[in-house]
Structure 1
Amino acid sequence: MKAYVFPGQGAQFSGMGKDLYDSSEQAKALFEKANEVLGFRITDIMFNGTADELKQTNVTQPAVFLHAVIGAITLGADFKPAMVAGHSLGEFSALVAAGAMSFEDGLRLVAIRANAMQKACEAAPSTMAAVLGLEDEVVERICEETPGVVVAANYNCPGQLVISGEVAAVEKACENLKAAGAKRALILPVGGAFHSPMMEPARAELAEAIEKTNIQNPICPVYQNVVAKGVTEAAEIKQNLISQLTGAVKWTQSVRQMIADGATHFTEIGPGAVLTGLVKKIDKEVTTENL
C-alpha cells in the first residue's frame, strides 16, 4: 500500500519548483494562479530568492505548500494514494492532494496561517528546542514539571522530539533534560513556539478561515497530526486542522499507525527528504522514495 507524505516549514531552498514550472504546462498554470491568489510573484522568490528571502514566513509556508501540491497534481493518474499525511504545514498539502479542498482554498488558508503565526510570534517571546536521546515520556514529564509554558510539540522519530513554549521555560526545560540524560537539548533558530499554547491567537484567526472553507471527504484517509490516525470525514478533518496550531505534531505515532494500517511504501512529495529520513528511523523495513 502506497502512502504519500508532505513536508513542512524548513524544507525550502532557492530554485525550488523551477523544474516543475519549466517541464509542465499544468504546473506553470498552477504557479501563475498562485501568484495571482497571493498578490505577489512568489515564483520569483522560489526560483531565484536568497535563503533569507525564502525564510520569511509569508513566503516559506506557501512556497513549500506549492512545491508539494503541484508535484502531486502533475503526477496525474500516477497519484494513487492509499493514505496521505503531512508534517505540520504539510497537512494542508496532503489535504489538497487528497481532494479534501481546492488548490486555491488550500493556498489561501496557508497564507492566512503563515501571517497569523507571524503575528503570534511577535506578540510574545517564545521559542522551540530539539531534544535528542530521551524517551518521549521523560521529555513530557520534565515539560510538565517545568514552570511556565513548555510542551512536547513535534514527535519526529524515536529519540527526537521538539519542545515549544515561553523562552525562559524552554531554556529551563533544556537544562533539566540534559540533567536527565539528553544527548542534546538545543534551542532552534525559529521565530516562535509553534504547536504550543503560545499559538492560541493564531489558532483563533485560522479557525475562522477554516470554518468558512469548503472541506470535503478526501479520496483516502488523511493521517492528521493531532490524532495520529486516518480521518475521512470532512467535519472531523476541519476540527483537527483547527487544533493543529496549538496541538502536537504526532509524526512518529502517525507513521506507526500508517504502517499498522498496511502502508509498505512511503513517497515524499515536495522539497527535501526530511520525512523519508524520519520514516526510516521509525521503521527500517518500509520502502521510501522522494519526488
Structure 2
Amino acid sequence: MKAYIFPGQGAQFSGMGKDLYADHAEAKKLFDRANDILGFNITQIMFEGSDEELKQTKVTQPAIFLHSVVLALTAPDFNPDMVAGHSLGEFSALVSNKTLSFEDGLSLVYQRALAMQEACEINPSTMAAILGLEDAIVEEICAGIDGEIVVPANYNCPGQLVISGSIKGIEIACERMKEAGAKRALPLPVGGAFHSPLMEPAREKLKKAILETKFTAPICPVYQNVSTIGETDVEKIKDNLISQLTAPVKWTQSVQQMVTDGATHFIECGPGKVLQGLVKKIHKESEVSSI
C-alpha cells in the first residue's frame, strides 16, 4: 500500500517549484491562483527569494504547502491508500485526499501562519532538538522543570525528539538533557514554541477559521499528528486539526501505525527528503521515494 507523506516547516529552499511552474500548465494555474488568494506574489519569493525571505513564517508555510500540493495534484497516477503530514504538512495531506479544496487549504495555512507569528510575538519562546535519549527520559525531564513551560513537541523518530517551551525553560532542559546522556541538545533557530501550550492564542484563531471552512469526506484515511490513527470522519479530522497547534506531532507513532495498517511504500510529496530519512529510521524495511 502507498502512503503519501507531506513535509512541514523547514523544508523550504530558494527556487522551490520553479521547474514545476515552467513545465506544467496545470501547476502554473495553481501557482497563479495562489498569488491571487494570498494577495502577494508568493511564487516570486519561492523562485527567486533569499533564504531570509523564505524563513518568514507567513511565507514559509504557504510556500511549502503550495509546492507539496501542486506536486500531488499534478502527479500522474496519484492514487493514495493513505496520507499523512508533519505539522503544516497535514494541511497538504488533507487537500491531497480531497478533505479540503486547494483554495480553502491555502487560506487556512496562511491564517495559521499569521496566527502562529502573532502568538510568537506575545510569548517569546523557542524549541530544541534532543538527540540520543529515550522518549521517556525526555518526557520526564520536561515534566520536572518547575515554573517554566517545556513539553515534547515533535516525536520525529527514535532518538530524535524536539522540545518546545519558554526560552529559560528550554535552556534549563538542554542542560539537564546533556547531563542525562543526550548526544546533542541543540536549540533551533525558530521564533516560537510550536506545538506547546504557548500556541494557545493561535489555536483559538485557527479554530474559528477551521469551523467556518467546508470539509468533505476524504478519499482515503489521513493519519493525523494528534491521534496517529487513520481518520476518515470529518468531525474527528477537524477536532484533531484544531488540537494540533498545542499538541505534539507524533510522527514516529503515525508512521508505525501506517506500517501496521499495511503501508509498504512511503512517497514524500514536497520540497526536500527529510521525511524519507525519518521513515527509514522508524521502519527500515519500508520503501521510500519522492514525487
Give the TM-score band, short-chain normalised. over 0.9
Partners of 2:133 and 2:53 lie apart in 1 by 35
Q: Deviations over 1:92-120 (max 9, x none)?
A: 00000000010000000000000000000
Q: Deviations over 1:121-177 (max 9, x none)?
A: 011110000000001011001100112100000000000000000111111111111
Residue 111 of structure 1: aligned partner: 110
Secondary structure of 1:243's aligned partner: helix
Cα deviation for residue 198 of structure 1 reads 0.4
Say whether 1:215 aligns with 2:180: no
Secondary structure of 1:256's aligned partner: helix
Partners of 2:167 and 2:215 lie apart in 1 by 36
Partners of 2:187 and 2:55 lie apart in 1 by 18
Secondary structure of 2:289's aligned partner: strand
Residue 26 of structure 2: aligned partner: 26
Give the AA of the match of 1:234.
V
Structure 2 portions without partners, runs of 5+ = none
Q: Deviations over 1:171-206 (max 9, x none)?
A: 111111111111111111100000000000000000
Secondary structure of 2:267's aligned partner: strand
1:107-146 to 2 correspondence within 5 Å? 107-146=106-145
Q: Deviations over 1:195-243 (max 9, x none)?
A: 0000000000000000000011210000000111110010000000000
Residue 94 of structure 2: aligned partner: 95
| Runs of 4+ deviating beyond 2 Å | none
* Identity among equivalent pairs (%): 67
Partners of 2:75 and 2:218 lie apart in 1 by 17
Partners of 1:164 and 1:136 lie apart in 2 by 14
Aligned length: 290
Residue 272 of structure 2: aligned partner: 272
1:68-83 to 2 correspondence within 5 Å? 68-76=68-76, 78-83=77-82
Give the AA of the match of 1:110.
V
Give the AA of the match of 1:17.
G
RMSD (Å) for aligned C-alpha atoms: 0.6
Secondary structure of 1:248's aligned partner: coil
In the superposition, the TM-score normalised over structure 2's length comes to: 0.99
Residue 155 of structure 1: aligned partner: 155
Q: Deviations over 1:67-105 (max 9, x none)?
A: 0000000014x1111100000000000000000010000
Residue 180 of structure 2: aligned partner: 180
In the superposition, the TM-score normalised over structure 1's length comes to: 0.99
Partners of 2:214 and 2:130 lie apart in 1 by 38
Structure 1 portions without partners, runs of 5+ = none
